[in-house]
Amino acid sequence: MNWLDNNILTLVTFAPAIGGLLLLFFPRRDRDIRVFALVVSLLAFVLSLHLPAHFNRGLAGFQFDKDVSWITTPNIHYHMAMDGISLWLVVLTTFLTPLCVLISWKSIHDRVKEFFILLLVLETSLIGVFVSLDLFLFYFFWEATLIPMALLIGMYGHGRRVYAAVKFFLYTMIASVFMLAAILWLYSKTGSFDFVVLQSAIRNGSIPNFSGNLPLLLFLGFFVAFAVKVPLFPFHTWLPDAHVEAPTAGSVLLAGVLLKMGTYGMLRFNLGLFPEQSRRNASWIVVLALIGIVYGALVAMVQPNMKKLIAYSSISHLGFVVLGIFSFTQAGLNGAMFVMLAHGVSTGALFMLAGILYERRHTYEISEFGGLATPMPAYSTFFLFIVLASLGLPLLNGFVGEFLVLSGAFQAKMWWGVVGATGVIWSACYLLWMYQRVFFGTVKHPENNSLPDLDLRERVALWPAAVMALVMGVAPLLWLNAIDPAVHNVLVPFTQFASKVVGR
């Protein structure tokens, strides 16, 4: 393995944070700060492209492994690696961050330096979550995401921004304590925080006293932290407040990447470390996911606020991901991963589009618009394209993942697929109805007649998301070829369990 392959994860992870550190020493010239933040975020994206370019798609295990001793007592390692599950989540993070910089170019006027430092530190924390295999390191990055996101909401958000920031921080931090307790118990019995070591010890039955209700409590310790982060119904109440009050860039990274930390954690740690408990608890978890799909869609349909509507749509779409994960089928898990990526692109773009409109009118209320297709034809075209991608139109990115998830759900239990499929119908209802009220008909408010259409910077920010939505829908195998072997590896204990049951 050459030097770059051995250190690429470190470079990708910490390049944004180093850029943020350098920004501390910049004079307060806002344009220079914005340009430097854009350059750093683009550098991180270019570095991340090394990962799919040199990723061996035929291997199910971890690649680009970097494992060195960090702290001897306790036994903590700097262990980073990735497989097909984490590969595209890292690239998604580095893809969205430059778009966040562009979309925030004119909307952030005060404390510009601090804003972009927080954005770059958040990027490092998010990437670190997806590539850490030492559970101490994973937990460090997991908690590190809270600080910059809470500050972005609390310092740069709208009306009730401090309330939303505190609510977000407390919900996710308190839930994470249960995961910390589970991690510490596992370390006390094995002397290791390493995911691979812990997985082997649990599967080989070499952990003492690992019986009775203890495996369930450990499973729930991880699951509660992940369920709140998703957020899975009924742990979802922090999300609409956080989205509505957050600045546009905060909403993009919150919906696009940060929510995926929860579903990634379920797939990596709940299924990876506790396959038996995952199987036993799947039924009630799927029920919560199905409630989330339908409930999120129905509540989105009655929202008068555009941003809150998009926020509730995230609850519905992430329900599909949890449904796919706990279907324990190859199609379901492949679909869950694809929905994560597709949702990151399309919903991130929806929040960018909502933010562009907010810059012009300083409101998200749907009743304040109407007939915008006339003064803003390019904007309305981009919005329609992303809406169609989000609701799952064939040949766009939303269709592939939802189709695979529902296929897996039908394979597991027919009624799971039937209820889940209604979410596709509801999403078309609330998204198309929102689009009709905002863009069709006559202009209701005179001030909307003079709204400027998209400028060059805004088009440059939106075009990559639109192109990605199309390419993911037309050529999904570019992503699924890497995802499929890793998902198959996760499912091995479940197929073995199923064969034992059949054998009996």
Position 67 scores a pLDDT of 87
Give the separation between CA 395 and CA 473, rounded to whole angstroms.
4
Contact 164, 177 (CB under 8 A): no
Contacts of 35 (CB under 8 A, 6+ apart): none
- Which portions of the chain are predicted below pLDDT 50? 498-499, 501-504
Position 73 scores a pLDDT of 84
**Tens-digit pLDDT profile for residues 380-405:** 999 999 999 998 899 999 899 999 99
Read off the amino acid at residue 411: Q
Task: Determine the straight-line distance between the first and last CA of the chain, rounded to whole angstroms.
Answer: 46
Q: What is the pTM of this model?
A: 0.92
SS3 67: strand
Position 500 scores a pLDDT of 52
Closest CA to 214 of 197, 224, 225, 202: 202
Position 235 scores a pLDDT of 83
Position 435 scores a pLDDT of 92
Give the separation between CA 336 and CA 82, rounded to whole angstroms.
18
Strands 63-71 and 76-82: antiparallel
Domain boundaries, given as residue ranges, for the chain: 281-504
Position 135 scores a pLDDT of 93
